Every structure is written in structure tokens, then in C-alpha cells.
Amino acid sequence: MTEDTIPHFEIGDALAMRCGNTLTASFVPGGSKIALSAYRPVKWSTPDAPSESAGEEPVLIYMAQETTLYTEPLLRSLLAETNAAFTTLQVLSQGPKGDAKKSIDYLKISRTYRSIIRCFLEKVEHAKKSPEVQENEATKERHTEAIYTFYAIECLWNLFEVLYIQQQHNQLIVGELLEWTRFHFPDTEDSATDLLLMAEEASECDNYWDTLKTLVMLGQLDVTRAILSQHRKFNQTVFQTADQVLKSMPVYQDGYAMQKFCSQWEYWHVDLERKLAAHVFATEPQLELLMQLISGSNKHWDAELVKSQDWYEFLPGYLLFTRPACKPFELRIAATNWINRWSGLRPNWKMTQLSRMIMQLMEHDIKLFIYEAQKLGDSHWFATHLIDLIYHSGQLNSYFEQQHIDLPSLRFSMIFEYGSYLMTSHKLWQLGIDYLDCCKQEGSAAIELLLTRIPLKSERQAFKIIAMAKERGLVNVEQSICKVLSKRAYADQRYGNALEWAMRSKDVLLVTAIADFILKHYSNTGVMLCPDVITSIGARMFVSPRLVFLTKYFEFYEFYRERDFLSGAELLVNLLASKITPDYFWPSLLIDALPLLESGDPKIFAKETIAILQHLELELVPIIERNKLNTAKFNNQSSKTVFSDYRVENVEEILDLMRLACARNLSRATIIENTAPEA
């Protein structure tokens, strides 16, 4: 490939062309876009001053992307449907080996793909006529482009199927090829239908004979006969003879001996030529011309060929009248000869990509065909699915070996790239995953890289992504998504949500940070945030000791609110002894004990009261001391570091109250405990 075939995509950025500036580009993370902008390399000699272009030109960033067909939801529907066929094929190939049955299955898959395309084409054609599409120029163009591309793909796939997937034991292909051209050149059939509907009047029609000639060259003899039989002069001998010739043309039937068929056909052919030589049809020149075509007369074919739309249009018809038993390997020579003949008649003819690819298929040049298939504007849809099918059906293995092409690795790289293309495309990521799943560890690594980069638009989507990550054992992806959502909820002050996601992420630091926030908020304001979430934590609290504390404290808080003081007191004493109380929460926790201690009928036993007193002296007092020290050291600035609440000024007073309360409760409890048992 030479330099000038490299496509040009140019952006007219004024700034990039000035003062030695150039262009820079970088990939957009997680997407298939590229960001471009003007660039000025900085060198040791660059002066430290505004550049010459400062303020002169607008500074622009461009976002570019490979042109893709699948921007409309309708056009994307094709991808979803083929994804299902692709998955079926992967499952099929893993099933038990049973060769004969399998090749039929592969044919079925191939037909499924084609029927998906045909159905899709129909839908797009229909949609194209709708006013919404007609009004929007860009959308209309995309629809046209999609129709054009996929029409070509269907045509190629159909031919590929006839030549390489469909395995017939007799290897006769002319019939199939005729079907193929019939489908892809429907104009003649349309005008033939018109003629049939006109009945007797048809023979007066201007295009009567032209249509018949084209029908003959397309090998559609049944229709030809039907139209001929409507001719006004059909009763005349010459028409009867012609009809007889058409009717008696041998058609190969399954199970028939090939040799016998060939000799019968040869006999029929010689008979026709003999009739032509004897000028049997001379009274009707048009009919005679028709018969000349049927006899395969090169002179007459050449004259008619000029009318054809593309080189391959009449090739199957010509084969029908000259080599009806043509085998795939003979097709190569026939096609080469035919194309030479055709281009000889049309010296100015330029091959389109479609006609070139058809030639490659007929000439058995699969390698070049696949190379060309990758240039269709379908984001490699065709090449990828076809290669995959070729790989599974295994029918071309020896060909690829001969050509030194590593088919498995070719398939692998095609699927990998197609899968990553889908995954990096807007709204297509769920389809891409199935393709990357076939790509072993590279696929799994790519899924891991790309899944985390899908923008998390809603929690529903996040759950979907997490489910997919879980299916594949990608723990990191799940945790990363949970952390991001937790951070996001926290920034939005949705603390319950933040805590939920943090617990899912199993990130101890994150959970601790959020639990801290909730506890501090409570000790500052007396308001418990997100009680519903905390209630439902349950066994998940063991992620972080701080969360355990939060949950347990919340339990106490609930007991207290429900006035279940005895259970509350017990829990509080346990909490005090638990050694998981964060420093900043000691005052809160001890003050909570105050009302319980002051209660008329003791809620806390003597032993526990002593424990509380002990905590008071051993935990709270040192903290206060430390705090004082810090306050002194930093000149009052950090007095808020430990107790950032209103109690900080009154902490000494609280301490005294606590001591007093403990003493009173202790006396009450001791009296009760020591008198009760004897009674």
C-alpha cells in the first residue's frame, strides 16, 4: 500500500499552523474518541513570555472518532441480534463432535446471520421513509449508508455461503448461484411480474423481449416460459418448438448419475444448435435471439452483456447454458475468463469494491477477500463474524494453512478488537462483553480495564456492571465501582448511601471514615444520620471496628429511645469495656451513662458502676489532660481537635457530675445488691 492511499482527515485549526506550532492528540480514557489540539513544543530556547499567537486565534480542542454506522438505535439493533447468533455459535462449537450434523448447523448459523441482515435492511428501508428520518439530513445519510453497506455484505455473505459453507455432495453450484443473482438483481423479476399480470397485452409491451432476454440470461426459464405462453402467437409452431426446447432442458435431480445427466444435457444442447442452424425460429427473429442465448452463443451473449449492471450479473446464467455441471474449483477459471470478456467489452469500466470482492470469492482468493472485508464501513462487523464462522466450521483450514495464515490468532484478534470497539462505544458495552469473553485472559483483562470506565449514570446501571464483574470474578472492578459510588454519595451528603457502598467495597479505611463522620456528627448535634441504613447493617459491621462500634452504639441509642433502660445499660457497660470506642466519642458515651446512673431505681450494678468510674478516670481524664496540653502548646488553637462540641467548655463540670452520679448509684446499688438475696 502506498502513502497516497492513506486516508486524509484534516482539521483546519489556524493555531496549529502558526509560528512553528503543531498538533497533538491523546486517547480519551475508556472511549473510542481522540482529543486533538494545537501544540507548541517547549524547548530550552523558548522564551518565558506569551507566545506569538497569544490572544490571536481561538484555542480549540477537537474530539474525533472513527465514523461508525451504529449511532441510531435502529442501526444498533443489528448488533444486538447478531450478538445472540454469535453466542449460539460459540456454544454450538463446544458441543459434542458430530461432523455431518455440525456442518448443517453451521449452515443454519450462516443463514441466521443473513436473515438478520435482510430483516435489518427491511427495517432500515422502512424507517428511512418515515418523516423523522427524511427531515434530518444526517440521519437520512446514515440510513442510506447502512443500507448500502449491509446490502453489499448480504450479497457477499450469500455467495460465500454458496461457495464455502454449503457442502453438497455433488458440488453443483449453478443453481445456487442463479438464486443468488436472482435475489440481488430484482429489477428484471419486477418487470416480469408486470408482464405476467398484463396477460395477452404483454406481447405488445416495449420491454417484452428485453425482459425475456434478461430473464434468460439470469437463467429464470420457468418465468420465461410463462411469459412466452401468454404471447398472442403462442399457438404457432415456432413458439411451440421454443417452449418444447425450454421444457426439455435437462435439470439435474438429486440422486441422478452425473454421467447420464451430462450426456442428456449434451444431447439437448446439440439438438438446439441443430434447430438454430436449420433456421427453425427464423420467422420470429426475437425468439431466435432468445434461443441463441439459450444455446450459449458467444456472439449473441456479447451483444447483450453490455446492458448488464455488473460483471457477475449474468455469469451464473451463462454457466447454466454452457457448463451446467460446473464445480466450485472450475468456477475460478470460468470467472476469470468471464471478467476478462466483460471488461474487454467495457474498457472504461472501473471495479467497485463489491464487484472486486465477488471476484475474489469466485477466484478462491479468500485472503484478499478478508483483507478487503475489513475495509467496509461496518466497524468490522462482517469480517469478524465471518472469520469466526470460518474458524468454527473448519472447512477452509487447509487453505489457511497453505497461505501461512494463523486462523485461530486472526480470529482471536478480530474478536478482541470488535469486542473492545463495542465496549468503548456509547450504549454498546453490554454486547462487547460477550465477544471479549471468548478472548481468554486478554479478553478478561480488557473487560476489567473497560468495565470500570463505563460512566456510572445510575445505581441500576452500576448494579448491572457489578453483576457482570461478579460473573467473571473481577473483584477489583466491583470494589472500585463501589468506592467511586460511595465517594460520590458522600460528596452529595447522602451518607446512608455512602455507607452502603463503602461496606460493599470492603474498604476498611473508607468505611471507618464514614462511620467516624456519622459518630462525630451525632456527638456534635445529637442527630443520628441514616438510622435505617445502620439498622440493616447486621453482620456486615465486621468490616471495620469503627462500624462495629457505630452499630452497637446505635443499638444502645434505640434501647434508650424505647425506654428499655436495663438492656440499654447493659449494652452501654459492654461498649465502655469494649476498647473500640474512638477517643472523640468518650465524652458522649460517658454522658449517656449519666441519666442511667441517676435513675431512682438502679439500672447499673455496683460492679459496673465501678467499671464506669474506672473508665472515667483512665480514659476520659487522660484525654482531657492531653487536650489541655495541646491547647497550651498551640495557644488555644487546637482545642477542638479532640472534643469538637459544646461540651468542651464544660468538660470539667461534666467530669464532676459523672463522679457524683457514680458515687450515688454505687451506694444505691450496693445497698440493694447486699440486702436482696437474704430476703
Q: Among residue numbers 349 through 378, which ones bind other proteins (CB under 8 A)?
A: 352-354, 367-368, 370-371, 374-378
Instruction: Examine residue 477 and tell whether it contacts other proteins (CB under 8 A).
Output: no
Output 250 or 377, the one with its CB closest to other proteins: 377
Instruction: Examine residue 379 and tell whether it contacts other proteins (CB under 8 A).
Output: yes
CB 302 within 8 A of CB 344: no
Instruction: Examine residue 453 and tell whether it contacts other proteins (CB under 8 A).
Output: yes
Closest to 215 (Cα-Cα) out of 307, 351, 327, 341: 307
DSSP state of 474: -
CA atoms within 13 Å, Cβ hemisphere of 95: 16
* Ranges within 641-670 binding other proteins (CB under 8 A): none
Q: Quick one: which segment of 143-151, 226-234, 262-270, 310-318 binds other proteins (CB under 8 A)? A: 143-151
CA distance 365 to 326: 18
220 burial level (CB within 10 Å; 0-12, 13-18, 19+): buried
Output 15 or 291, the one with its CB closest to other proteins: 15
Name the H helices within 563-620: 565-577, 586-598, 606-615
45 burial level (CB within 10 Å; 0-12, 13-18, 19+): exposed
Minimum CB distance to other proteins, residue 119 (Å): 19
Instruction: Examine residue 483 and tell whether it contacts other proteins (CB under 8 A).
Output: yes
Instruction: Examine residue 611 and tell whether it contacts other proteins (CB under 8 A).
Output: no
CB 490 within 8 A of CB 498: yes
Closest to 139 (Cα-Cα) out of 41, 131, 567, 629: 131
Minimum CB distance to other proteins, residue 520 (Å): 14
Minimum CB distance to other proteins, residue 189 (Å): 23
Among 24, 170, 244, 402, binds other proteins (CB under 8 A): 24
**Dihedral angle sign, alpha carbons of residues 271, 275, 277, 281:** negative
Count of residues in contact with other proteins, rule CB under 8 A: 112
Instruction: Examine residue 497 and tell whether it contacts other proteins (CB under 8 A).
Output: no
Minimum CB distance to other proteins, residue 36 (Å): 7
* Ranges within 383-422 binding other proteins (CB under 8 A): 404-406, 409-410, 412-414, 416-418, 420-421
Minimum CB distance to other proteins, residue 302 (Å): 28
* Ranges within 39-98 binding other proteins (CB under 8 A): 39-42, 48, 50-51, 53-55, 58-68
Output 61 or 278, the one with its CB closest to other proteins: 61
Minimum CB distance to other proteins, residue 19 (Å): 9
CB 39 within 8 A of CB 19: no
Name the H helices within 474-525: 475-491, 495-505, 508-525
Instruction: Examine residue 4 and tell whether it contacts other proteins (CB under 8 A).
Output: yes
Output 544 or 581, the one with its CB closest to other proteins: 544
* Ranges within 296-315 binding other proteins (CB under 8 A): none
Minimum CB distance to other proteins, residue 35 (Å): 6
Output 180 or 261, the one with its CB closest to other proteins: 180
CA distance 444 to 425: 18
CA distance 505 to 88: 35
Among 282, 445, 671, 672, binds other proteins (CB under 8 A): 445
Dihedral over alpha carbons 487, 493, 496, 500 (to 10 degrees)? -10
Output 302 or 406, the one with its CB closest to other proteins: 406
* Cβ neighbour number for residue 313 with a 10 Å cutoff: 20
Closest to 507 (Cα-Cα) out of 484, 466, 479: 479
Output 242 or 358, the one with its CB closest to other proteins: 358
Output 47 or 600, the one with its CB closest to other proteins: 47
Output 265 or 311, the one with its CB closest to other proteins: 311
Instruction: Examine residue 678 and tell whether it contacts other proteins (CB under 8 A).
Output: no
Output 485 or 541, the one with its CB closest to other proteins: 485
Instruction: Examine residue 336 and tell whether it contacts other proteins (CB under 8 A).
Output: no
CA distance 299 to 297: 6
Instruction: Examine residue 112 and tell whether it contacts other proteins (CB under 8 A).
Output: no
Among 117, 162, 450, 669, binds other proteins (CB under 8 A): 450
Instruction: Examine residue 455 and tell whether it contacts other proteins (CB under 8 A).
Output: yes
Output 112 or 413, the one with its CB closest to other proteins: 413
- Backbone angles phi and psi of 27, in degrees to 5: -75, 140
Cell numbers given for 331? 468456477
CB 474 within 8 A of CB 465: no
CA distance 499 to 510: 9
